Structures are given as structure tokens and as C-alpha cells.
Chain A
């Protein structure tokens, strides 16, 4: 009897164990642990500084009214480790590989980060898109091929890419951007300081030149296109050494600065629209500069 009981018990145990193992395997197969979304919350005070370093993957940053930073990530391979560090108002997030020599695909980690509206950001990434929405604070971006999309942001923004593009929509404050072959677009900006340089990329400025604003755009071979409205007030200095300057504006001679002699190299355009409150400098080596009337 005892033996029988033990045998029965053992058989049940084996069946239960087997069932458990099968179920566990099913769960693992259906929802691999490494693909899980991991989320962390950090309480912060006003104006925290958030630093993100990620080799490849999408980085989305949004703002909310909470005094809290939420960082969520997904690494499909499970081979990347995300380290977070919090010290007071500083939050750092960094991705590193578990093993050396892992393929680039394994490092791909997507981030969703939500921060207080007033936050500082510092993002370094190689590839993958970076989007930032409605954050007000200073920001730096350093990427190789990652494209940057900034929307409704306000602050001092510094972006450096090798061939990643930058699209800045309704950005306010100051913008410095430097790229080799990336395009830079500023759409409906309210920026009072713009310093944009790209070698072979195109530059588009479609917005108003603010009073006292300084706008410097320079490239080597791409197109520089600025759109103006008749009410804009700015001085312009546009020169393309080997390319063309196409102008739809009516400028009067610049009465503010020193009279500039016409350059004997390339095509140049100097002049003032209305009172010349803003300063616009456009320069290209072999690209085309377009000063076009806004539709």
C-alpha cells in the first residue's frame, strides 16, 4: 500500500513536473523574456538632466507634467544590458553588450523615455531615429547615422551628426547643428540663433527671422533654401563660390554695416529687407542658395 501510494505519488509528481516544464517552455516560446519591455521610474525634481547612450535603436523622448522620469526599453536579442544610474536630478541610461563581438543587430535597443517638460537632454547614438517632443531645456545630440526629429522643443539645441538628418519642427530658442552629409530642416521655427553647417547636405529654413536673430547657414555642395515673408526684417549676405544664388526678394542696399565690395569670386548678394533687424548669412562652396518667398 505504501509502495503503491509512493508509486502513485511519484507518477503524479512526474506528470506535474512534465506538464510544468511544457507550460514553461510554451510561455518562454510565446513571450521570450529578452523581448520584454522593461520600465523604470525615477522621481526627480525640476529640470533634471537625462543622458542616454545607445548604439543603435529608436529613442523616443516625450514630456509630461509629472516630476518623474520614465525609461522603458526593449532589446529583442536579450544580449544588451541597459544600465541606469540616478543621482539626485541626474538620470543616466546606457546600453552595453553582454558579450564582446556581438553582431550589431543584437545591440539594437529601443527606448521610450518620458521626462518633465523642463528637462535637459544629452543623447549619443550611432544609428536609429531619435525623436524628441515638447521638451523645454538644453539638448545635445551626437550621432553617426541617426536621424533627429525635434518637435515643439525649446532651448539651446546642439546637434552633431555624420550623415544623420535633422528635422526641427516648431523649435524655439537656439540651434547649432553640424553634419557632413545630413540634411537640416527647420520648419516653422521661432529660433533667434541658428548656426547650421553641413557639407553635402541640404539646408531648409522655412519660418520667420526674429528681430535681433542671427542665422548662419553654410554648406559645401548642397542646397540652402530660406523662405521669407514680406514682413520679415533682415540683412542678408549670401555667397556661393561656384554655385548660384537665386533670389525672389527685393533688397535695398545694406545701410547698417560697412559697405561690402562685390566679391570677385562666385555669386554674392548683400542687402536689407525692411529694417534689417535680423542677420542672415548664407554661404556655399558649390551649392545653390535660394531665397524664396513663402507661399
Chain B
């Protein structure tokens, strides 16, 4: 079985017993094994969270894709040379990511990761972290919480391609407000760490995460379209 075939099976299988050829491929291919583990982790966490994941706005989706591309984490789909299983995995991951349902689940997971953070007060103490650590170690595919932490929480306006070319008033506004939200996140995180059972602090942290995601989406839209579209 080839990686492409495995991906097709992976997309379709839903906690169903894997067939022998699939299992054999999993044993042979590190990349597909890692991808499968990530899928399973996401599925497990989603079930544990037991939340309805609303489909994200189109602009959020486009923005995240562009951010990941800009950071070099993902690339445009390419034909993988034979045997390049890692490339195939990333391509497959991205192809899956582009599917609305999966994207919705993934982005929902990002938000859920924020919620989980706010609930447990510290990523290091969460079951999310516990479950994703082995996946991270075994895979080139970024896990949900690492994407959230690295790509959403740490991104600033300077890393948004094209934003500087826009109306300086708009650019300045976005930059200024990103700083405000980043500051809120830092303050809220500190509060949650100091007072883990403070529900209100957690709600504010969660709200600040959402604001940052929305703000980045707005910034991305402007950088991509040169203004309103």
C-alpha cells in the first residue's frame, strides 16, 4: 500500500478496525503512523471535550492557512516523489486540513485548546498535553496545541505578509490592538496561574484568545486583499 492510498483509508475510517494491508503500511511508514496518531489524538480530545464545534468563518480559515504558509509550516500541494513519505504526509495533512469538516474540527480544537487551558489553568497539567506529547515526538505534523501556541499566540503584525503595505492608519490600528490583546493574554494567563479556580479569569483569558484570533483574521484579510473586499 502507498501513502496516498493510506490517506484515503484514513479519511474514511472512523474508529473501524484497520485492514491488514493498512496495518502493515502503518508499521512500515513512520510518517503515516505519526499522522494516524495525530488524527486519533484529535478525535479523542474532541470526544473528551464533548462540545459542538461550529464551523469557523471563511476568513479565519483563509487567514490561518496563509499564516501557516508564511511561517513555512505548510506549502502548496506538490507531487511527492516516490518514497518521500514525509512529504506525502504533510501534503496529506494539508489536504485534509483543507476539507471544511476537518478544518472546522481542527480550528475548533484550537479554540478548545484555549478553553482547556483556561479550564486547567496550565497546559502542562492538561490531559491535552499529556496525550499530544508522544504524538509531537513521533511526528513532523504540528499538533493542535503547538499550532495554537506557536502560530496564534506568538504571531504579531510584523509577521503578516503584506500588512505593512496597507493604509498606515489601519496597519497601526491593528498593530496597536494586537499589542493590547497580547497584553491581556499575558495578564490573564498570570491570573489563571495564580488563581487556578478563578472562573472569571479563565473566561477573560478565553475571550482574549478569541479576540486575538479574530484580530489576526482581520489583519490577514487586509494584507491579502489590500483592504476591503
Contacts and interface: CB of A to CB of B under 8 A. Distances in A.
B215 interface: yes
B186 interface: no
A22 B167 CA distance: 38
Interface stretch (A13-21, A25-33, A50-58, A273-281): A50-58
B143 to A, nearest CB: 29
A100 B227 CA distance: 11
B200 to A, nearest CB: 6
Contact of B167 (A56, A180, A242, A285): A56
Interface stretch (A69-77, A121-129, A228-236): A121-129
A144 B173 contact: yes
A200 B168 CA distance: 22
A221 B187 CA distance: 11
Given A163-B176, A265-B198, A126 B167 contact: yes
A285 B228 contact: no
A181 B177 contact: yes
Q: Chain B: interface residue count, which band?
A: 20 to 34
Interface string A254-277: 000000000101100000000000
Contacts of A167: none
A144 B174 contact: yes
Given A104-B169, A199-B184, A220-B184, A162 B191 contact: no
Contacts of A239: 200
B60 to A, nearest CB: 14
Given A104-B168, A265-B195, A285 B215 contact: no
A147 B228 CA distance: 17
A260 to B, nearest CB: 13
A241 interface: yes
B195 to A, nearest CB: 7
A151 interface: no
A74 to B, nearest CB: 18
Interface string B183-224: 010011001000100101100100110010001001000100
Contact of B218 (A54, A144, A283, A285): A144
A162 B218 contact: yes
Interface string B162-187: 00011111100110110011001001
B100 interface: no
A145 interface: yes
Nearest to B168: A104
Interface string A218-246: 00110000000000000000010110000
A144 B214 CA distance: 12
Nearest to A163: B173
A183 interface: no
A181 B191 CA distance: 21
Given A55-B228, A127-B167, A199 B201 contact: no
A110 B227 CA distance: 16
Given A124-B228, A180-B211, A241-B200, A145 B165 contact: no
Given A55-B227, A104-B166, A162-B215, A145 B204 contact: no
A107 interface: yes
A285 B215 CA distance: 20
B226 interface: yes
A53 B228 contact: yes
Nearest to B199: A265
Contacts of A199: 180-181, 184, 208, 211
A220 B204 contact: yes
Contacts of A241: 191, 198, 200-201, 204
Nearest to B203: A283
B180 A104 contact: no
A263 B184 CA distance: 22
A22 to B, nearest CB: 39
Q: Which residue of B181, B188, B222 has the most chain A CB atoms within 10 A of its CB atom?
A: B181
A145 B177 CA distance: 11
Contact of A162 (B165, B168, B174, B204): B174
Q: Which residue of B180, B195, B218 has the most chain A CB atoms within 10 A of its CB atom?
A: B180
B123 to A, nearest CB: 21
Interface in B5-44: none
Contacts of A163: 173, 176-177
A283 B200 contact: yes
Given A162-B177, A181-B180, 9 more contacts: A126-B170, A144-B170, A144-B173, A162-B173, A199-B208, A220-B204, A239-B200, A241-B200, A265-B201
Closest 10 CB pairs of A and B: A104-B167, A180-B177, A55-B227, A145-B173, A126-B170, A285-B204, A265-B198, A53-B228, A144-B170, A162-B177
Interface of B: 165-170, 173-174, 176-177, 180-181, 184, 187-188, 191, 195, 198, 200-201, 204, 207-208, 211, 215, 218, 222, 226-229
